């Protein structure tokens, strides 16, 4: 849903990306720095609860934006690589685990419903990119869907920040359950794309040796 923001953010990040490249900073470094910042923001602030939820979201949001900065740097500096793609995808999973895992830890002792919703978001958040990667491993493009990673992050972090500012916890709880549902629908949408491909081309469906299986990457 929020994919249209990427070109806008790419244009915004163009100037700082050029500056960092001029300083000799590699895009992969920014990927690692951004992930470290997200992990810190989630693990350090979220367990404190209260207003710390808001400040944690602020820190996370700042570093999440570097996810777009490293991509802009890679394009402008002609530094796109398989290693960069691998790191970017892997660090996305680390960041997601830190965010939703910290929410599980924060509420598991006092608000089981909220913690369970965060746990479902964590699990389904891993399934969404996995289904895409497995689809692509057999030659089917399965991008998109009702709620991609950027959609889930924006909505989840917004709800967390608002609760940190004083809104009832129910706002976060039901937002997380909604995100889990949207993520599950996205998984089903991607599965349907592969099923449709198999129905359209039975010969392709039986040809297993033509496709080399790869590990999930997006």
List the catalytic residues. Answer: 92
- Rg from Cα positions in the chain: 19
Half-sphere exposure of 193 (CA within 13 A, CB side): 19
The span from the first CA to the last CA of the chain, in angstroms, equals 17
Helix pair angle (27-40, 52-64), 10° resolution: 170
Which helix or strand (DSSP H or E) is residue 121 part of? helix 112-137
The values of phi and psi at residue 23, to 5°, are -85, -5
Structure tokens at 102: 């910290």
How wide is the angle at C-alpha 152 spanned by C-alphas 25 and 112, nearest 5°? 120
Sign of CA dihedral 195, 200, 202, 208: negative
């Amino acid at each position: 849903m929020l994919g249209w923001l990427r070109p806008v953010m790419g244009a915004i990040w163009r100037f700082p990306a050029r500056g960092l490249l001029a300083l000799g900073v590699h895009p992969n470094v920014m990927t690692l720095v951004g992930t470290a910042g997200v992990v810190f923001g989630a693990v350090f602030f979220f367990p404190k609860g209260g207003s710390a939820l808001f400040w944690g979201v602020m820190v996370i949001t700042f570093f999440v934006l570097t996810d777009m900065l490293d991509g802009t740097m890679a394009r402008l500096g002609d530094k796109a690589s398989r290693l960069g793609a691998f790191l970017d995808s892997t660090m996305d999973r680390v960041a997601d685990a830190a965010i939703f895992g910290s929410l599980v830890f924060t509420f598991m002792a006092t608000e089981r419903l909220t913690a369970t919703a965060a746990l479902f978001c964590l699990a389904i958040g891993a399934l969404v990119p996995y289904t895409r990667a497995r689809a692509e491993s057999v030659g089917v493009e399965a991008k998109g869907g009702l709620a991609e990673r950027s959609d889930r992050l924006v909505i989840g972090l917004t709800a967390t920040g608002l609760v940190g500012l004083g809104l009832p916890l129910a706002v976060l709880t039901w937002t997380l359950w909604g995100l889990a549902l949207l993520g599950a629908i996205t998984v089903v949408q991607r599965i349907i794309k592969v099923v449709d491909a198999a129905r359209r081309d039975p010969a392709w469906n039986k040809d297993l040796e033509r496709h080399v299986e790869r590990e999930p990457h997006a």
